[in-house]
Amino acid sequence: MTSTLFLSSLRSTASPPNCRFHMSSSSRSGRPSFDSFDTICRRRRRAWESAKASVGVEPRPTVSVGPAETGPVDCGGKLSAWTSIRQERWEGKLVVEGDVPRWLSGTYLRNGPGLWHIDDYNFRHLFDGYATLVRVYFEQGRVMASHRQVESEAYKAAMKNRRLCYREFSEAPKPASFLAYVGEVASLFSGASLTDNSNTGVVRLGDGRVLCLTETIKGSIQIDPDTLETIGKFVYEDNLGGLIHSAHPIVTESEFLTLLPDLVRPGYLVVTMKPASNERRVMGRVNCRGGAAPGWVHSFAVTDRYVVVPEMPLRYCVHNLLRAEPTPLYKFEWHPESGSYMHVMSRATGKIVASVEVPPFVTFHFINAYEEVDEDGRITGIVADCCEHNADTSILDLLRLQNLRSFAGLDELPDAR
C-alpha cells in the first residue's frame, strides 16, 4: 500500500556527486525530498487531537464476493489479520470518537491486496490478493469511507470463471493438459498470461488522472477517485514495450518517472512522462554491472537532480517464472556473487555520473533521497534511505499468508534496518 507523496525542491549546483547510501527505516530530519501524508499531519499535531474511528451503521448496498475465509476471524479472543474483505464494495460514515479538525478537508486513497480466495481456493502469498481500493474523505469534521475492488481483467476473469486465470505473484493457473501448458508458456513470453491485478500503488498524475499500479505494465488501471469506479486500462502510447516496471514510480505535478527492467539486455530504462500525455520518453539507460538478469526494482529513489537506480543481487529469473509451483524466491534468484550496485543518473543529461558497489542488500521500498551541499551550494553527496532486510531473502517467503495469520501473538517478521 502507498500514500501520496509530495516533492519539495532543494537548491544545489549540478556536479558529479559523491554517493553515500543509508539503509535505514527513517530519514534524516530537515532534508527530505519527499513528505508523506503522515508527515504533513504530524506538523499540525497540536491542532489534531487523537481521534479513533470505527465503522458506522449507515452502509450503502453491498455486493458479496462469495464464501471461504472472510475476516476478521475470531480465534481464542484474537483477531486474524490478512483475511479477505466481506464485500466487493462498501460505503458509509465513520463514527468518530473525539474531534476531527474542521480544517482537514480532502481525500486519502490507498490500495492493496484485499481478496485472497476464489470460493474454496485460498491464495498462498500476501502479494497475490486481488486489489482493493480504499477511500477516506474528510469534510467539516465528518469522515466518510468506502472501498471497492479494482476491476482488472484478472479479477473479472476469476469472478466469472470461479478460478485463477492469470499468473499472480506466487500463483499460476493449472493447465488442463500438456498442450494447454505449452500455450500458457507462450502467452507468458508475450505477457498475455501475466496479471494486471493492480494491488501495489495508487498515484495521482499531474493532470489529475488517478492510476492504480503493480509491477506489470498492463496492470496500470485508471480509476475514479470519487466513486472508486474502474475507468479502464491506462494505455502507454509509445513503442518502448516491455512487460514490467517499478511498482512505485516517482510522481510530481510535472513529471512521472519510472524504471523499465530489460530482461533481454540486462539493464534498466529510466523513463519519464509529462502530464496530459500517455507517452513515456527515455531519459537514459543503466546497464547492469553484474549477473545475467537485472535485479528486482520494486522502487527507486530520486533527488532534485539525480535518479538513483538500485541493482540488487536478487535478480529476475525466467526459469522460475515458468514454474507451475513457486520456489522460496518466487520469480527471483539470489546471486550475491554478481555484486550489488547503486547507479546515479543525471536527470538533466541522462548520463551515468556514478556507479557505486555496495554490500549485498534486499529492499522493497526506498523512503527518501536528497543531495548534500556545502556552504557554497556545491553537491558533496547523495543520501538514499531504504528499508533494508539485512540481505536476507527469506522475507519474501515469510510474507506467505499462512505465516502472517499466525496466532502465536508474536511478530513473525524479522526486523529491517
Question: Mean pLDDT of successive 10-residue segments in the chain (417 residues)?
Answer: 32 41 39 33 35 36 43 45 88 91 94 95 95 95 95 97 94 76 65 92 97 97 97 97 95 97 96 98 96 94 97 91 80 96 97 96 96 94 95 93 76 79
In whole angstroms, what is the distance from residue 167 CA to residue 357 CA?
34
Contacts (Cβ under 8 Å, ≥6 apart) of 79 = 71, 72, 73
Query: Under 8 Å CB-to-CB from 172, ≥6 apart: which residues?
Result: 164, 184, 323, 324, 325
Note the pLDDT of residue 406: 74
Instruction: Kindly state the greatest CA–CA separation across the chain.
Output: 69
CB count within 10 Å of CB 319 equals 9
Helix (H), strand (E) at residue 132: strand 130-139
- The bridge status of strand 19-23 relative to strand 379-388 is parallel
Contact, 2 vs 365, CB < 8 A?
Answer: no
Q: Measured between alpha carbons, how far apart are the two ends of the chain, in Å?
A: 20
Quote the CA–CA distance of 219 and 197 in Å, as a whole number. 6
pLDDT value, residue 290: 87
* 289 grid coordinates: 554491472
Q: How many angstroms separate the CA atoms of 392 and 74, rounded?
A: 33
So what's the pLDDT on residue 185? Answer: 64
Q: What does residue 334 show for φ and ψ, rounded to 5 degrees?
A: -100, 120
pLDDT of residue 404: 85
